[in-house]
Structure 1
């Protein structure tokens, strides 16, 4: 079991933050906008969908996939720390988000 209190450690928070920024850097523009509009501006899914010309379920699915990927990356960081392994590029391979065809980049 992973100890969530590890996120209180500055070096772990820094790695998680770096992982989030790395993911945002490789997301397609449309997916990046969805994430930012939802989590930074607090827009509801219906407003994001309207802005992008897609459906609210498409936006919800995209947000779910991004959240899943971020959770996997965070878990990998915490697991690596808990077993004291050297960092590898394993977490870089966790991003496997399939593009949603109706979301414009």
Structure 2
């Protein structure tokens, strides 16, 4: 989880969350065949297509902080995805990316 998001989840008494975190970050994100960058791009596309902007608020800053995607690559991602997810979701993604890039650049 530290590699994907830059932080770790606190120990939880909740088995569901603990098992999910262990499996997702211990098994799925670390499988061979795709880089973390590849997985991040796929996830951003899925989240944008479903309008899950709250999770994009986690993924986009993590991609910037981890050096997986540059601001220009994120902007290009929004342009590309808009043509597949539709204008309302794509324009919302564009605005969100610009806001998160500005926050990242302010440090």
TM-score (normalised: structure 1): 0.29
Higher helix content, 1 or 2: 2
Give the TM-score, by structure 2 length.
Answer: 0.29
- Using CA pairs under 8 Å that are at least 6 residues apart, name the structure with larger relative contact order, 1 or 2: 1
